[in-house]
């Protein structure tokens, strides 16, 4: 009986050990990126270079960009997700032709709010580009994402038991603190999202990352 129990215990440990090896291997190797295969729905691949400089634990927004067909003037919306581990965002749903990226707009992720009233920003830095059938096209500009470091959170005081004079004094103090915070944010000179030149060194890293895509050989890479 004891021998049978020991045998069953050994089998359980052995199976768990095998599972642990498999999980560890998957964890260490990770999952590689795969592009859709070229077909009627996926005729082109647009690569938008992206650099994410993260100062907070996570980004609270995504960026919606408007891609306009130069011929039909149809606008296609593409969402870019800030991610320090990715050097690009891509779209495979555009037909061959000439396009422009005309506008960008920050949108809060579910459960978060953005300060102020984010409004669409016109984009003039990115020139017209052409997408060709079966080819990967990389635009010559880059989206740079940043989030400024927040200052120390202000404590709100309970003013219910204050006199009118004390309330007025407290409101003046809070107003001064808000102005100081806004000034500190401006001094960081950080824009949440902006279009900048694509540096050659960054493009080299991007191309190396693209070459790691499993089925990259199905597409023509410039």
Task: Write the pLDDT tens digit of every residue in 127-173.
Answer: 999 999 999 999 999 999 886 555 555 566 777 888 888 888 988 88
Q: Is the pLDDT of residue 217 over 90?
A: yes
pLDDT at 10: 43
- Model pTM score: 0.67
Q: Which residue has the higher pLDDT, 8 or 101?
A: 101
Q: Which of 72-81, 118-127, 170-179, 201-210 has the lowest mean pLDDT?
A: 170-179
Distance CA 48, CA 139 (A): 6
Query: In this structure, is the dihedral angle defined by the CA atoms of residues 213, 216, 219 and 222, taken in order, positive or negative?
Result: positive
Instruction: State percent of the chain over pLDDT 70.
Output: 74
pLDDT at 99: 97
Q: Which of 58-62, 68-72, 190-194, 204-208 has the lowest mean pLDDT?
A: 190-194
For 67-92, what is each residue's pLDDT tens digit? 999 999 999 999 999 888 889 999 99
């Amino acid at each position: 009986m004891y021998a049978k129990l020991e045998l069953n215990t050994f089998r359980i440990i052995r199976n768990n050990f095998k599972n642990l090896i498999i999980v560890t291997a998957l964890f260490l190797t990770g999952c590689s990126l795969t592009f859709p295969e070229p077909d009627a729905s996926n005729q082109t691949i647009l690569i938008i270079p992206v650099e994410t400089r993260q100062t907070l634990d996570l980004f609270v927004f995504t960026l919606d960009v408007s891609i306009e067909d130069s011929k039909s003037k149809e606008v296609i919306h593409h969402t870019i997700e800030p991610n320090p581990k990715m050097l690009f965002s891509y779209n495979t749903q555009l037909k061959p032709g000439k396009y422009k990226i005309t506008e960008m707009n920050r949108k809060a992720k579910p459960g978060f709010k953005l300060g102020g009233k984010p409004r669409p920003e016109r984009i003039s830095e990115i020139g017209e580009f052409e997408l060709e059938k079966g080819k990967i096209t990389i635009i010559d500009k880059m989206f740079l994402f940043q989030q400024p470091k927040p200052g120390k959170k202000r404590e709100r005081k309970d003013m219910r038991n204050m006199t009118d004079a004390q309330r007025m004094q407290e409101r003046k103090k809070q107003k001064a603190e808000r102005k100081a915070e806004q000034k500190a944010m401006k001094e960081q000179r950080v824009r949440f999202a902006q279009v900048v030149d694509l540096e050659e060194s960054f493009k080299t890293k991007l191309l190396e990352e693209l070459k790691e895509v499993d089925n990259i050989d199905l597409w023509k890479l410039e």
